[in-house]
Structure 1
Amino acid sequence: MSDPDPDARLVERLVRSEPAAMRALMTAKLPRMLGLATRMLRDRSEAEDVAQEALLRVWRNAGVWRPERARFDTWLHTIVLNLCRDRLRRRRERTSHDIPETADPRADAETGLLEAERGDAVARAIAALPERQREAILLVHYQDLPGKEAAAALEISIEALESLLARGRRTLRAQLAGSLEHES
């Protein structure tokens, strides 16, 4: 790895169990961890639990991270992905995602409703993707990880990542085109 990891000093402080290091980690990484977990699990409360567990694991195991194997951000994303996968496996039989009906008080409630429906359609389409395609799409397009880091987090080659992304995008286009036709 040619560039030193920007998080290496933070990890050193975590290894020394400095409380300020944990606060710095939370400030720097928690929003992205929550974003990934929320997109994968589609449940904010569960995502918060995953983020908390990931932070605890990093706190306890910071000394395990090896900069020559992966960037810290990649290692952290891998921890979050694995925790999300575990939760998804445990709840496979649970499929209901009821959305309560609420009135939108804004003057342009119809526009907000259409945007929410579109967002829900995208979220459902992403959730319906095969697990590996969904993870690749989320890491690259929602977490903005470079391809090399996303591939490392998924423990696959760049070529395999590109293949997952291509298949996932094709499937999303087809699903979203179909859902838009049904709406018209």
Structure 2
Amino acid sequence: MERSDTELGRLADGTLMVLFANGDPDAARVLTDRLLPRAYRHAARVLGNAAEAEDVAQEALLRLWRAARTWQADGAAKPSTWLHKVVANLAIDRLRRSGRSVELGEDDFADPSPGAEARLQEAGRRDALDAALASLPERQRQAVILRHIEGLSNPEIAEILDVGVEAVESLTARGKRALKAALAGQKEALGYGHG
């Protein structure tokens, strides 16, 4: 009996992993559609380079597929958390190997929106956020991206970064304070008005 994408789309990530491990290519396609954009966004924010982000996201997904044979659907790790951890490690390895810190500014990641003024304002906001994120230490940047951009929970982030939940809370709090300070003088220029 063949399942539709809608039926597969209702399944948990871990279940899709087990189905893929048992030879179901449709499960892999549905899980790829679900996880690859998140992996790419995470890598792009950390690396600041769309091509490198694609490489990292694809490598992380390949590693996920290699792990599928031993995946336990009822295990503690979720595929999305596991994938974010691999993306975080691959991105940090790339930054360290290249000896550079991330420098963001070009907006390769903007979604088109109606109106030229709205697009310009959104690009300016994204550039300002990217530049402020780039100024954070690696761990703070990762924690802030995972929590406030990707929407992961603190326990998930703790697992990804191999730190305690309290450390995640500290990293995100310090990162948010640093971002607020970095962006404070730009409110009006970014179209947020007074206040």
Letter in 1 for 2:21: V
2: CA distance, partners of 1:9 / 1:118: 38
Bigger relative CO (Cα 8 Å, ≥ 6 apart): 1
1: CA distance, partners of 2:126 / 2:44: 14
Q: Is the 8 A contact 1:36 1:139 kept in 2?
A: yes
How far is the alpha carbon of 1:13 from its aligned partner? 2.1
Residue in 1 that maps onto 2:5: none
The one of 166, 184, 189 equivalent to 1:159 is 166
Residue in 1 that maps onto 2:39: 33
User: Normalising to structure 2: TM-score of the pair?
Assistant: 0.76
Moved more, 127-136 or 56-65: 56-65
- Match status 1:125 vs 2:152: no
How far is the alpha carbon of 1:181 from its aligned partner? 8.5
- Match status 1:169 vs 2:179: no
Change (3 A) 1:161 1:88: same
How far is the alpha carbon of 1:118 from its aligned partner? 2.4
The one of 36, 55, 80 equivalent to 1:49 is 55
2: CA distance, partners of 1:156 / 1:133: 12
What value does the CA root-mean-square deviation take over the aligned residues?
2.9
Q: Secondary structure of 2:152's match?
A: coil
Percent identity, aligned pairs only, is 45
Change (3 A) 1:68 1:94: closer
Change (3 A) 1:29 1:97: closer
Letter in 2 for 1:135: Q
1: CA distance, partners of 2:34 / 2:158: 22
Q: Is the 8 A contact 1:136 1:164 kept in 2?
A: yes
Q: Which runs of 5+ in 2 are unaligned?
A: 1-10, 108-112, 191-195
The one of 62, 75, 81 equivalent to 1:74 is 81
- Match status 1:59 vs 2:65: yes
Change (3 A) 1:70 1:41: same
Q: 1:45-88: per-residue Cα shift (whole Å, max 9, x none)?
A: 11111111111111112245465442222111101111111111
Residue in 1 that maps onto 2:13: 7
How far is the alpha carbon of 1:14 from its aligned partner? 2.8
User: Normalising to structure 1: TM-score of the pair?
Assistant: 0.80
- Match status 1:135 vs 2:135: no
